[in-house]
Structure 1
Amino acid sequence: MSQIDIRHPHALPTAQARKAVQEVADKLDARFGMESRWEGDTLHFSRSGVDGHIALMPKELHVTAKLGFLLSAMKGPIEQEIRRVLGERFA
């Protein structure tokens, strides 16, 4: 199993940051069949082969995910795509 652990700074107000995280989650849900749910300021997401969360903090997002065997081989591209999306949404 591979692990993704990304910390990304942001300067958005909490409501705006939460909305941006939700928009990303909605796209992942539609595109990859992810299921997501909020618990406080943490969005949990999962599907076969991946389980993780995005913790929304005042000045930082913390993305963690555990990748199953098949997705472990794609850890690099997955991590790169997460960083790209975070850069676009939380620049």
Structure 2
Amino acid sequence: MASIDIQHPHSKSPQQAREAVDEVARKLSERFDVSCQWDGDVLNFKRSGVDGCIELQPNQLHVTANLGFLLSAMKSPIESEIRRVLDEKFV
């Protein structure tokens, strides 16, 4: 099982950061049938083959994900896409 662990800085207010993460979660749900649920400042996400979370912290996001056997082979492109979206949404 492969894992992804990304810490990404941001300068958004807590509310702006939460709204941006909500937007990302909506897109994940629509494109990949990912279920998402907030638990405080942590957005947990899950679907077959992957589970993880996005934790809102002051001035940074912490993204973790555990990839199942089939998705482990695609760790590099998945991680690159996560970083691209974070760069786009959290300048």
TM range (shorter): over 0.9
Q: Which segments of 5 or more consecutive residues in structure 2 lack a partner in the other structure? A: none
**Alpha-carbon distance in 1 for matches of 2:33, 2:73:** 19
* 4+ aligned runs moved over 2 Å, structure 1: none
Percent of aligned positions with the same letter in both sequences? 64
Alignment of 1:35-74 (within 5 A): 35-74=35-74
Task: Tell me the residue number matched to 1:77.
Answer: 77
Shift of 1:58: 1.1
Q: Which segments of 5 or more consecutive residues in structure 1 lack a partner in the other structure? A: none
Shift of 1:63: 0.1
**Alpha-carbon distance in 1 for matches of 2:32, 2:44:** 15
Shift of 1:48: 0.1
**Alpha-carbon distance in 2 for matches of 1:65, 1:29:** 16
**Alpha-carbon distance in 2 for matches of 1:29, 1:4:** 19
TM-score by length of 1: 0.99
Alignment root-mean-square deviation, CA: 0.3
Task: Tell me the residue number matched to 2:15.
Answer: 15
Task: Tell me the residue number matched to 1:3.
Answer: 3
**Alpha-carbon distance in 1 for matches of 2:58, 2:66:** 24
**Alpha-carbon distance in 2 for matches of 1:27, 1:84:** 14
Number of equivalent positions: 91
SS at match of 1:63: strand
TM-score by length of 2: 0.99
